[in-house]
């Protein structure tokens, strides 16, 4: 409240910003420094408030139960979820990424991109899951949080900035085509996959490779898989 002679200004609260988010497209970024998928997003402000900026955070989860699996894919995810009859209990959401983006000021709505890094690190469950898929789409759930910066007006007409949280219930869904994921990976690692081994194993393989005069790791692993004797190189 403002009393006569008090010099205290009250701020007119006005409507609270109400943001909704939608994913309009998912594409591969072939020019990123590492394998990256881009989520094309749109933010809509429903209350008519002028938004000065949004410091947005987004948690990305895979919802594996919301897609179909062929027999080869089912075999590749068995160590994550077990056999098909158990999937109703074992196929829980997988954490894929935590993203952040600052949106500029807008009224009504704006478009923005969320850059989603992907990798061949199959020690991480979400990436192991993606690497095992052949076709179709991957259902994603986007959970939003952060701060919205809006304008407020005092009883003397002066303006101020108000900070409001992005409610935790704000979310959106997206469909990541497996072909787009592979396009992002192939832009950096065409027709390749990665294995993580201990340093000791790497050093032993490296010595084996040098001793036999092999040019690449494929040659090393192929010879070992074929059971060739560890004799002098050609």
Give 38-60 pLDDT, tens digit per residue.
999 999 999 888 899 999 999 99
- Report the candidate in 184, 67, 66, 29 with the shortest Cα–Cα distance to residue 120: 184
- CATH architecture for the domain at 11-186: Sandwich (2.60)
User: Closest Cα to residue 84, out of 95, 74, 70?
Assistant: 74
**C-alpha closest to that of 29 among 97, 117, 98, 100:** 117
Whole-angstrom distance, CA of residue 57 vs CA of residue 143: 8
* All CATH 2.60.40 domain ranges in the chain, comma separated: 11-186
- Structure tokens given for 234: 């050609």
pLDDT digits (tens, 9 = 90+) for 93-146: 999 999 999 999 999 999 999 999 998 887 789 999 999 999 999 999 999 999
pTM beyond 0.85: the answer is: no
């Amino acid at each position: 409240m403002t009393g006569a002679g008090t010099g205290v200004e009250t701020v007119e609260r006005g409507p609270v910003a109400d943001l909704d988010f939608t994913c309009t497209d998912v594409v591969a970024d072939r020019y990123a420094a590492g394998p990256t998928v881009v989520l094309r997003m749109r933010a809509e402000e429903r209350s008519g408030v002028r938004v000065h900026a949004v410091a947005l955070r987004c948690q990305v989860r895979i919802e594996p139960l919301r897609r179909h699996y062929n027999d080869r894919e089912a075999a590749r995810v068995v160590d994550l979820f077990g056999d098909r009859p158990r999937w109703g209990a074992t196929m829980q959401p997988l954490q894929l990424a935590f993203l952040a983006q600052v949106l500029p000021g807008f009224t009504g709505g704006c478009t923005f991109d969320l850059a989603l890094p992907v990798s061949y690190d199959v020690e991480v469950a979400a990436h192991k899951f993606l690497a095992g898929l052949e076709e179709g789409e991957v259902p994603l759930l986007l959970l939003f949080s952060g701060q919205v910066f809006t304008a407020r007006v005092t009883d003397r007409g002066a303006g101020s900035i108000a900070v409001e949280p992005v409610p935790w219930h704000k979310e959106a869904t997206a469909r990541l085509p497996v072909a787009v994921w592979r396009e992002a990976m192939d832009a950096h690692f065409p027709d390749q996959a990665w294995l993580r081994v201990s340093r000791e194993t790497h050093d032993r393989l490296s010595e084996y490779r040098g001793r036999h005069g092999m040019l690449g790791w494929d040659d090393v692993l192929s010879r070992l898989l074929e059971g060739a004797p560890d004799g002098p190189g050609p």
